[in-house]
């Protein structure tokens, strides 16, 4: 077997990391020898946390997963894969509405570099959960404690107070 097939990446924005993300990362870490969580440098104006802050929050919340490493990246996820000897991209799929986009991206990434994508069905507990919904709820004082780790909740509430 291709040794790169034992190494996976979970790419995304993670602004900020939620229990939905952590569920996918942790399940991926049970399947592969080494798992990279790669945080996109995106130019989105709606970002609440800087890439460095998102990486830091991911480091803190994945401490109990010894084969998980966190990095940020610019450009194509397939280039990140080539650089780090990764053969598989793992993406969480919450609903059929996610699938259309994920399928296109998977086909593009396979075409670009022969990198496989595994789509992992979300734990139904988190199928409605997204970073943007958590940010919206926090902005208006909603209780986000069921959806994110405590450290994320604290930082998000602090950040929303500053804005």
Binding region for ligand ADP (CB under 6 A): 12-14, 18, 20-21, 23-24, 91-92, 94, 98, 122, 126, 129-131
If the CB atoms of residues 146 and 161 are measured against ligand ADP, the closer one turns out to be 146
CB of 59 to ligand ADP, least distance (A): 16
Distance, CA of 57 to CA of 37 (rounded, Å): 12
Please tell me which residue in 54, 131, 135, 147 is annotated as part of the active site: 131
Cβ proximity of 159 and 48 under 8 Å = yes
User: Is 21 known to be catalytic?
Assistant: yes
Please tell me which residue in 54, 94, 135, 155 is annotated as part of the active site: 94
Q: How many CB atoms lie within 10 A of CB 6?
A: 15
Q: How far is CA 2 from CA 5, 20, 163, in A?
A: 6, 29, 48
User: Is 94 known to be catalytic?
Assistant: yes
CB of 63 to ligand ADP, least distance (A): 19
Cβ proximity of 16 and 49 under 8 Å = yes
Distance, CA of 62 to CA of 103 (rounded, Å): 27
CA 57 to chain centre: 12
User: Is 154 known to be catalytic?
Assistant: no
If the CB atoms of residues 118 and 157 are measured against ligand ADP, the closer one turns out to be 118
If the CB atoms of residues 1 and 69 are measured against ligand ADP, the closer one turns out to be 69
CB of 18 to ligand ADP, least distance (A): 6
**Number of alpha carbons in the 13 Å side-chain half-sphere of residue 73:** 20
If the CB atoms of residues 101 and 157 are measured against ligand ADP, the closer one turns out to be 101
Q: Which residues are catalytic?
A: 21, 45, 94, 131
């Amino acid at each position: 077997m291709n040794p790169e097939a034992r190494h996976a990446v979970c790419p995304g924005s993670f602004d900020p990391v939620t229990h939905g993300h952590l569920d996918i990362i942790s399940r991926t870490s049970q399947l592969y020898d080494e798992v990279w969580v790669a945080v996109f440098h995106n130019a989105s104006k709606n970002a609440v946390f800087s890439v460095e802050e998102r990486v830091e929050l991911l480091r803190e919340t994945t401490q109990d997963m010894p084969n998980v490493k966190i990095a940020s990246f610019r450009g194509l996820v397939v280039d990140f894969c080539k650089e780090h000897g990764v053969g598989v991209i793992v993406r969480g799929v919450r609903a059929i509405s996610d699938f259309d986009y994920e399928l296109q991206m998977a086909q593009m990434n396979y075409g670009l570099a022969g990198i496989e994508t595994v789509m992992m069905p979300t734990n139904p507990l988190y199928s409605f959960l997204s970073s943007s919904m958590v940010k919206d709820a926090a902005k208006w004082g909603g209780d986000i404690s069921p959806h994110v780790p405590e450290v994320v909740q604290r930082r998000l509430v602090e950040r929303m107070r500053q804005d």
